[in-house]
Amino acid sequence: MTLMREVEDRIERKLYRQGKIAGAVYTGRGQEAIPVGSALLAEPGDVLFPSHRDMAIFFIRGVSARRVLAQYMGRMGGLTRGRDGNMHMGDMSVNVVSIISALAATVPVAAGAALALKYLNRNGVAFSYFGDGATSRGDWHEGVNLASVQKLPVVFICNNNCYAYSTPLNLQMACANVADRGPAYNMPAAIVDGNNVLAVYEATQRAVAHCRAGLGPYLLECKTFRMTGHSAHDAAHYVPQELFEEWRKLDPIARLENRMLAEGWAGQAELDRARAAVVQEVDDAVQWAEQSPYPDAATLLEDVYEKP
Ligand SMILES: Cc1ncc(C[n+]2csc(CCOP(=O)(O)OP(=O)(O)O)c2C)c(N)n1
Ligand SMILES: [Mg+2]
């Protein structure tokens, strides 16, 4: 969670302002417990479909901060080798499927991946991530319906951060919770404190067990808040200030650290050392990324189309 926070802070608050980021910047500040608490439960053969606020998934699957930073800077060292300048990236060598920009477009793809895993008897699970707004798109309903009818092993993980760009929840869906959509598909759905990484972990354990037992998909609605604008170019004037203040008290990293100290799982010195190591790792990664070259224009069509 700290690595994700540090990499995203560096991108949004420094490199973007210095004009070094090639594309737009969307961060998951305040939402780190969701990708971390869930993706830690993915087995190597499982397939993950991150959304735009789930950077930790890449780190959990072993993608380095160097490569993620090079990606955002449009360099050859990035996952798309300079073809894209933000989070539209994946790494099929570790079963992380690239984000499709159109919201919810990856949901039917996740259902398809789960169909393949089931057909091949792999006992694998697809992890499908999206925001609250994405659940109002047609693709979301088609993908969820297919998964449910076919009893496919998909954990659908919603980060409900109360906004879809500037649109608050009540203006984009008529039910109170995303989880309320589950029964329409005869799919179990749980509401989780998305700012508590241990709660997300436990809920995901239950969801994954359900999927691996062949019982079909499972929906997790992780309640959280977007502690930033929609993107680095959005100051979020439309969000009432007191909401930020309320949710700041629920910061998932601070909450876990406080719990660790209270339970005696770690001392302050250990936490400080861990944080310093993260800062150092990100310093190194930024330097590495800045030294990575931009792609040669003559190669830009490589890997765009499959060769015969
Ligand atoms: C079909 C489609 N419409 C609009 C957009 C532009 N867009 C990107 S993210 C976003 C908001 C998404 O809200 P939500 O699903 O709640 O995710 P969040 O950004 O809050 O994590 C919008 C409107 C898009 N990418 N795709
Ligand atoms: Mg949202």
pLDDT of residue 305: 79
pLDDT tens for residues 95-147? Answer: 999 999 999 999 999 999 999 999 999 999 999 999 999 999 999 999 999 99
Q: Is 307 helix (H, G, I), strand (E, B) or coil?
A: coil
Q: In sequence order, which residues have a C-beta less than 8 Å from that of residue 107 and are 6 or more positions away?
A: 49, 128, 130, 134, 139, 140, 142, 143, 144, 156
- Which residue, judged by its Cα, is nearest atom 18 of ligand 1? 131
pLDDT of residue 308: 67
Residues with a beta carbon under 5 angstroms from ion ligand 2 = 131-132, 161, 164
- Which residue, judged by its Cα, is nearest atom 13 of ligand 1? 164
Residue 250 DSSP one-character state: T
Torsion of CA 289, 291, 296, 297, to 10 degrees: 60
Pocket of ligand 1 (CB under 6 A): 53, 101-103, 130-134, 159, 161, 163-165, 226
pLDDT of residue 57: 98
pLDDT of residue 303: 79
Rounded to the nearest whole angstrom, what is the distance from the C-alpha of residue 284 to the centroid of ligand 2?
Answer: 32
Contact call for residues 194 and 159 (beta carbons, < 8 A): yes
Residues of the chain with pLDDT under 50: none
Token readout for 207 is: 């969801």
**Could you give phi then psi for residue 100, rounded to 5 degrees?**
-95, 135
pLDDT tens for residues 136-180? Answer: 999 999 999 999 999 999 999 999 999 999 999 999 999 999 999
Contact call for residues 172 and 132 (beta carbons, < 8 A): yes
Rounded to the nearest whole angstrom, what is the distance from the C-alpha of residue 228 to the centroid of ligand 2?
Answer: 11
Q: Are strands 167-168 and 163-164 parallel, antiparallel or unpaired?
A: antiparallel
CB atoms within 10 A of CB 190: 16
Helices (H), the chain: 2-10, 33-39, 56-60, 65-72, 106-119, 138-149, 169-172, 197-212, 241-248, 252-263, 268-291
Percent of the chain with pLDDT over 70: 100
- Which residue, judged by its Cα, is nearest atom 22 of ligand 1? 165
